[in-house]
Amino acid sequence: MRVINPKDFIGAKAWDALDIEKIKNASIRLHWTNEPYIWHVNDGPEVFVVLEGAVDMHVRDASGDKVFSLQAGDIFHAETGDEHKAVPIGAARILVIETDGSI
């Protein structure tokens, strides 16, 4: 798992890119929510971009539970099998890119 802050990325030259994930048969969806999502594990990778608002991303792994505070512009990347739960702080708009049919 990782959190990506776009402001921290500077390419060596114009149009350099930070590869985040390649997803075959992906869905790209814009979500609006003011309620937490359920704890879940995706069957493929997920890229979660906070476009507006703020979201606390709760994650679980072998070392225990953690919370990442995401602001507009932040990107959360979950790999296959990463357990997580998104909890918006008020209303939020989120772009989610994941394997088509993931929960």
What's the first-to-final CA gap in the chain, in angstroms?
18
Inform me whether the pLDDT recorded for 86 exceeds 80: yes
| Number of domains forming the structure of the chain | 1
Residue 16 lies in a domain: no
Residue 14 lies in a domain: no
Inform me whether the pLDDT recorded for 69 exceeds 80: yes
Question: For residues 76 and 69, is the Cβ–Cβ distance under 8 A?
Answer: no
Residue 53 lies in a domain: yes
Residue 13 lies in a domain: no
CATH number at residue 47: 2.60.120.10
d(CA 100, CA 14): 32
Q: What is the pLDDT of residues 20-52, one digit of tens each?
A: 888 889 999 999 999 999 999 988 999 999 999
pLDDT band at 9, cuts 50/70/90? confident
For residue 97, what pLDDT is reported?
A: 94
